């Protein structure tokens, strides 16, 4: 996994589709769902950590975009 799209594809494997309409909110909900998958032991620690790093990076990017508006 390297992109937000890859994390979304991971969620899709479990039947989880997220689209709120605002990218930063989508990322926050995806973070919650990834955490739930990890807590339920449906994904391993490495997958969880990789997804978490991607989501944190994307969240920072979105925050900086909003600050620059």
Q: What is the pLDDT of residues 38-60, one digit of tens each?
A: 999 999 999 999 999 999 999 99
Residue 6 has pLDDT above 90, yes or no: yes
Among 28, 25, 24, which Cα is nearest to 52's?
Answer: 28
pLDDT at position 45, please?
A: 97
pLDDT at position 29, please?
A: 97
Q: What is the mean pLDDT of the chain?
A: 96
Residue 69 has pLDDT above 90, yes or no: no
With 0-12 / 13-18 / 19 or more C-beta atoms within 10 angstroms meaning exposed / middle / buried, residue 27 is buried
pLDDT at position 68, please?
A: 86
């Amino acid at each position: 996994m390297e992109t937000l799209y890859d994390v979304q594809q991971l969620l899709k494997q479990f039947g989880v589709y997220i689209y709120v309409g605002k990218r930063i909110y989508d990322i926050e909900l995806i973070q919650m769902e990834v955490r739930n998958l990890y807590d339920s032991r449906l994904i391993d620690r490495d997958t969880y950590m990789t997804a978490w790093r991607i989501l944190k990076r994307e969240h920072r990017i979105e925050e900086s975009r909003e600050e620059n508006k």
